Chains A and B, each alone.
Chain A
């Protein structure tokens, strides 16, 4: 078990290191000179040189990468002498646009993204697993075929189309929901809920469709297993067969993809947050892309990668806890 853990952690560190390197290469080698962008219009050569020195852009690639990496863990100092700026521990640099520390910008937006992700996750898990179970139980009948049609639709509708259509229908035409605007939970819980309802639905529908299909396939497969037949043959009632023998193995694969989906949603709901004007990390990413604000894009990318990698690992650990079969010989 300890060997397995160490193995996983080592793998995670390698992936994260490569992610850092990859992002760094993309932004500091491929893209146009950041110094010119910081400087803006009416820029002199001296000013550019000054900025390059401040940002450390005049040094060789590996030195720059090392400074960036150590900045993540120990913080770094920009500039020298009286102009020096201290950037604390998880230092991701400063935004080219607002000069705010990127770390702060991300931390400020995390609660909104978390709210969006958690609400959507609850919704899609409930809807997906329930619909999947219903389809599996009524395999081949009307309910199953109806749900199959719904899942195909849900999987195919691009979420920005759904977002616009919902907003047009519920807000503009029917006026059931208020125009989306930020309301803190403490101020007015009802308004807060109404405000997040549409983003939750939009994000949940596609995933719910996938989870429905997965649950259905898994449950049907499990019900055909020998041990389920044995359990039935020895006279267990259907309820007990389901609870003791069928559900657990059928639902473990759901845990795997759930961890990954949730992690990637935290940093990646770009479209939904943009369309609904929610000030989360996704919108931060989308905005910084339009403004070509490299440190921010890089920070969000790293965060998203970090979340996905950590999510993968948590899932692996959970998996060994839920599914005893994985425990032996898992240290591959």
Chain B
């Protein structure tokens, strides 16, 4: 599963960790206590602030770019030095009042504007992939766990098969074979296609143990239909697991999108994405370090924030806010 060992592997390991504590979820803690514990946690708070900032940046991209004065596709030949193979003029990759984060060597495109628009692309893809994966994972996990028998066998086999696949290499293979139009939809589709078993496996396990509990039996005895039991009895009890798993999945997908774009099978230029910006900075890393440091740092902080946040939320969900 590797080409960036951080991504799917981490997810797989987390799946393993979470799968081990298959114990029924702890009694629901009061929302207010959880919120208070969360607010006291400075690291979690800082991470949320950064994530919100990136989200805001993504949402208000056109506005922000108007403020900073340069669009993501505008070339500024006056900011680069044609005698130095297009190296940005000025220190630190041409940072200054005109271009806040400097410019791209060669084209002179504004890096700040591209970061802002790149956030849009990266977040859209990562969040859509997370939503799609969660829906698929919950639907298949619930069905397999609740109905058991043949349904379970078929779903389990498919999951095993997908998890035995070297997912990233296959994503690359599929994406490189498919036409480049609508890459963003393809990316979401391909990431979700290989991603859902990790959530489904855990949902399946928990559903299997939940459906043996007394309250489900009671619902059954009082004549509830399968649909009612699934949506009213089982699904609410899975909520904390689903929230934790999805928060932990987001950084994986941010990284996957960036990695695929880095390899040239993701977002197609000139549309900016953080991974693709880093890829185009590779030939320049020695002479213009700011060019890879800025998108690199943005990406790293985003993945870190989601990872820390997911970690904290999991701990909160496990301890019910008793220990922050």
Residues of chain A at the chain B interface (Cβ within 8 Å): 15, 18-19, 22-23, 26-27, 30-32, 124, 152-161, 164-165, 167-168, 171-172, 203, 205-207, 209-210, 213-214, 217, 221, 253, 257, 260-261, 264-265, 267-272, 274-275, 282, 285-286, 289-290, 292, 294, 297-298, 300-301, 304-305, 307-309, 312
Residues of B282-320 whose CB lies within 8 A of A: 282, 285-286, 289, 292-293, 296, 299-300, 303-304, 307-308, 311
Is B176 in contact with A19, judged by CB distance below 8 angstroms? no
Chain B residues, CB < 8 A from A264: 1-2, 166
B200 at the binding interface (Cβ < 8 Å)? no
- Of the residues B5, B161, B311, contact of A15 by C-beta under 8 Å: B161
- Of the residues B1, B161, B278, B292, contact of A260 by C-beta under 8 Å: B1
* Given A159-B5, A164-B296: A268 in contact with B169 (beta carbons within 8 A): yes
Interface with A: B65-73, B79-87, B214-222, B259-267, which one? Answer: B259-267
* Given A152-B311, A156-B307, A164-B281: A268 in contact with B13 (beta carbons within 8 A): no
* Most chain B C-beta atoms within 10 Å of own C-beta, residue among A161, A261, A267, A298: A161
Chain A residues, CB < 8 A from B304: 152-153, 156-157
Chain B residues, CB < 8 A from A23: 173
Is B164 in contact with A155, judged by CB distance below 8 angstroms? no
In the bound assembly, the distance between CA atoms of A124 and B10 in angstroms comes to 14
Chain A residues, CB < 8 A from B281: 164
* Given A155-B307, A164-B296, A165-B296: A267 in contact with B169 (beta carbons within 8 A): yes
Chain B nearest Cβ from A85, distance in angstroms? 25
Q: List 26 A-B contacts (CB under 8 A).
A: A31-B177, A124-B5, A152-B311, A153-B304, A157-B6, A157-B300, A157-B304, A158-B300, A164-B292, A168-B292, A203-B5, A205-B5, A206-B6, A210-B9, A213-B17, A214-B17, A217-B20, A221-B20, A257-B16, A261-B2, A261-B9, A267-B166, A268-B168, A271-B262, A271-B263, A289-B265
B178 at the binding interface (Cβ < 8 Å)? yes
- Of the residues B176, B285, B307, B311, contact of A167 by C-beta under 8 Å: B285
Chain B residues, CB < 8 A from A203: 2, 5
- Of the residues A210, A253, A269, A301, contact of B173 by C-beta under 8 Å: A301
Cβ-Cβ contact count across A and B, 8 Å cutoff? 182
> Nearest CB to that of B254 among chain A residues?
A158
Is A27 in contact with B9, judged by CB distance below 8 angstroms? no
B174 at the binding interface (Cβ < 8 Å)? yes
In the bound assembly, the distance between CA atoms of A168 and B170 in angstroms comes to 31
* Given A285-B169, A312-B164: A257 in contact with B13 (beta carbons within 8 A): yes
Chain B residues, CB < 8 A from A312: 164
- Of the residues A161, A207, A285, contact of B172 by C-beta under 8 Å: A285
The 7 closest A-B pairs by CB, nearest first: A206-B5, A156-B304, A206-B6, A161-B296, A31-B177, A207-B5, A156-B303
Is A275 in contact with B282, judged by CB distance below 8 angstroms? yes
* Given A161-B299, A164-B285, A298-B173: A30 in contact with B6 (beta carbons within 8 A): no
* Given A207-B9, A269-B3: A158 in contact with B258 (beta carbons within 8 A): yes
Interface size class, chain B: 35 or more
Is B5 in contact with A300, judged by CB distance below 8 angstroms? no
B251 at the binding interface (Cβ < 8 Å)? yes
Is A158 in contact with B259, judged by CB distance below 8 angstroms? yes
B12 at the binding interface (Cβ < 8 Å)? yes
In the bound assembly, the distance between CA atoms of A285 and B259 in angstroms comes to 14
* Given A156-B304, A158-B299, A270-B263: A15 in contact with B164 (beta carbons within 8 A): yes
Chain A nearest Cβ from B302, distance in angstroms? 9
Is B177 in contact with A155, judged by CB distance below 8 angstroms? no
In the bound assembly, the distance between CA atoms of A265 and B255 in angstroms comes to 17
Residues of B171-192 whose CB lies within 8 A of A: 172-174, 176-179
Is B12 in contact with A257, judged by CB distance below 8 angstroms? yes
Residues of B248-280 whose CB lies within 8 A of A: 251, 255, 258-259, 262-265, 275, 278-279
Is B300 in contact with A301, judged by CB distance below 8 angstroms? no
* Most chain A C-beta atoms within 10 Å of own C-beta, residue among B178, B258, B265, B296: B296
B4 at the binding interface (Cβ < 8 Å)? yes
In the bound assembly, the distance between CA atoms of A268 and B259 in angstroms comes to 13
B147 at the binding interface (Cβ < 8 Å)? no
Chain B residues, CB < 8 A from A167: 285-286
Chain A residues, CB < 8 A from B265: 289
Chain B residues, CB < 8 A from A152: 304, 307-308, 311
